[in-house]
Copies of this chain bind each other. A is one copy, B any other.
Amino acid sequence: MAGPLTGIRVLDLSRVLAGPFCTMILCDLGAEVIKVERPEIGDIARGNGPFIDGISSYFFSINRGKKSLTLDLASPRGKSIFLQLVKHFDILVENFVPGTMEKLGLSYPKVADVNPRIIYASCSGYGQTGPYAHKPAFDVVVQGMGGIMSITGEPVGPPIRPGISIGDIAAGLFTAIGILAALHERSMSGKGQIIDVGMLDCQVAIQENAFARYFATGEVPGPLGTRHPVTTPFQAFETKDGYIVVALVGGERNQWALFCSALGCIDLIDDPRFQTSWDRTVHYDELIPILTRAFKGKTTEEWVGELEEVNVPCGPVNTIDKVAQDPQVLVRNMIVEIPYPQVGEVKVTNTPIKLSRSQCQVSKPAPELGEHAQEVLRNLLGLTQQEIEGLRKDRVI
């Protein structure tokens, strides 16, 4: 079974995370992704630990399935090879600081001149325009500047970074969406175009609700621990042996009564302060201490059992090891073992996109630096063994 993007070729100049996360998604969906890396050095993510027998787990995880071609884009021969390659590709992805592709002589007009159908995706810290455009940026900087650290943490406490590189991940996801939307547009117009995604912009977009609340009330949203800003109870509680999350929303008949009964708090059922989710949000400080006391009386597993019986959405707060063993996660094939020479098998997380007629699946390991140089240059450009050796000797590849 082919992937939905089988036949689509991606020329991937991106490094570290936002760009590679985007092209990983395209690769899992069946696109052929050729990662262009600096000779000898490669993507600096290859140096990020922890390592498995010398292999960067960081690099492996997000570059599985891609091919690697080393190419010195600063050299005239490297540039010339690149512009010949471009003819064979549908998509180009880069996440340099804006201006870099121009300096390399590989700006969109140059590339489009060779291949007007190419979709040229630039993902950067702040986007290609505006006063910060040329500043370098990394995940944590964008998380700080974008506001998410100010709304994550304890109500009274320092800013907290969500435990993932959401600055990069969000930008990678939006870039993939932009690319696929442009691919659809190309199927109508026959033309490619530029995609300009800024990580800071993506932070604003994923915080739409924090901004909506701020615009509606003028109050600056702050960190809320585990709770939701407008729905109550919708948060974690400590139990006898860990934490449980519960999520009551409006609209479910008798849910509040059943929840209170299960907790042994029947006097809350008809309490006028707590009848709707919004009432409970308004009277949050009165309600939560009562629930907090109640939840401490049993284990997480006991509470999950009892609350599920009355259909209250809930679950344990799992650590990563527990998630990796969760029967649902395993049945959904979300953890994949990839055979890798010398090491045996390397485990990575799978794509969460499941299609009925097309295959979306992690298939191959991450490439060694330059592993596919010969294959790509021979198959796409018809270079001979001797020409390839010459390029290698001169450090062009």
Contacts and interface: CB of A to CB of B under 8 A. Distances in A.
| Secondary structure dominating the interface of A | mixed
Most buried by B among A108, A198, A281: A198
Nearest to A247: B138
A176 to B, nearest CB: 5
Contacts of A5: 181, 184-185
Contacts of A293: none
Contact of A238 (B158, B178, B356): B158
Interface stretch (A72-80, A228-236, A262-270, A371-379): A228-236
Nearest to A144: B245
Interface in A33-53: 44, 47-52
Contact of A356 (B29, B193, B198): B193
Contacts of A221: 163, 319-320
A314 B144 CA distance: 9
A271 interface: no
Interface string A184-206: 11011101011111101111111
Contact of A197 (B126, B317, B354): B354
Interface residues of A, number: 161
Most buried by B among A21, A125, A176, A323: A323
A209 B61 contact: yes
A314 B203 CA distance: 16
Contact of A212 (B157, B251, B348, B356): B348
A265 B142 CA distance: 25
Contacts of A206: 164, 166, 169
